Structure 1
């Protein structure tokens, strides 16, 4: 069986065909916010850092979909708040893109890097700026995000906000 869920993290042993079906269900639990079912698997020693073939961790999936209780359960069981996917994107970048301030705060409270960058050099602050997520922008700035930092193309959060027409983010960063 070949699909995006067949890869586990480097700390999880390779899984056979019989194990793949429950693993697929585990990723669906993270996506749907089924914290009780996911906790049952985690309590049976399932790695909280398991990831898809694209490197999407359970925490990244839960964070992106706004499932705070699920993200908290994963973090409480040792999920890495800075685990990156194959593009170098982190859970905090996904939550910033979505404008989920409380998820960003949860990730920061559990040690997520405010300055971590994807392979293209974009930080969570840049994602928030590009997509006009001002509440997230303010939260990241309050936690020390550097508005002068540049991505791989030499763009700052402000220049990215301008390029994307994110007017509110531009105003906030121009202060």
Structure 2
């Protein structure tokens, strides 16, 4: 969605939500008061989809505006993805920073495959987004998806050698195996990346003592 158009839609939806949320006057019927009490839920439902659009396009201003209006930072779309997962997947590092600063949980996973924001960034090769996520002390680098894969396995499978040291500095466990029994090292070797596989083998031995 065009950014200017997105901002227009957000402003319009917000104005409508505020109109619904206006406090009822004492002489109005109780039905109006019930509607007003339900308004926060309506507002969140109306605006959360714009948060996902803003995350995909990297519009940090819209993201901050929506969060300030009460949209839940960890709201999920129809695929179970959060705004943080979308921002990381589409390579918008500033949006990732804004969402994390607003309290977004870095380790929430999508519903489709159980992938986290960090896994999405590694899959797409969005190095800056991955580094931002790794710099957040709340990130669990050994989190697993539905197939038992970790961020290190994604880095190995897709040859993200530049991020292996960053993962190691966060105490990534390179000896973990996925549901098929593969390790980060074996995935790298399977891709013909011997140099990366050897480095992973060394890190695995070092961590194991």
| Alpha-carbon distance, 1:15 to partner | 5.2
Separation of aligned partners in 2, 1:49 and 1:163? 36
Question: Equivalent residue for 2:11?
Answer: none
Distance 1:15 1:127, change over 3 A: farther
Q: State yes or no: 1:64 paired with 2:93.
A: no
Q: Cα RMSD over matched residues?
A: 2.0
- Compute the TM-score of the two structures, normalised by the length of structure 1: 0.83
Distance 1:166 1:15, change over 3 A: farther
Q: Which has the higher helix share?
A: 2
Separation of aligned partners in 1, 2:41 and 2:161? 42
Unaligned runs of 5+ in 2: 1-39, 203-209
Q: State yes or no: 1:35 paired with 2:51.
A: no
Match runs of 1:65-104 below 5 Å: 65-86=90-111, 87-104=113-130
Separation of aligned partners in 2, 1:25 and 1:43? 13
Separation of aligned partners in 1, 2:165 and 2:123? 14
| Alpha-carbon distance, 1:130 to partner | 0.2
| Structure number with higher relative contact order (C-alpha < 8 Å, ≥ 6 residues apart) | 1
Number of residue pairs the alignment of both structures matches: 160
| Alpha-carbon distance, 1:139 to partner | 1.1
Question: Equivalent residue for 2:79?
Answer: 54
Unaligned runs of 5+ in 1: 1-12
Whether the 8 Å CA contact 1:48–1:74 is kept in 2: the answer is yes
Whether the 8 Å CA contact 2:75–2:82 is kept in 1: the answer is yes
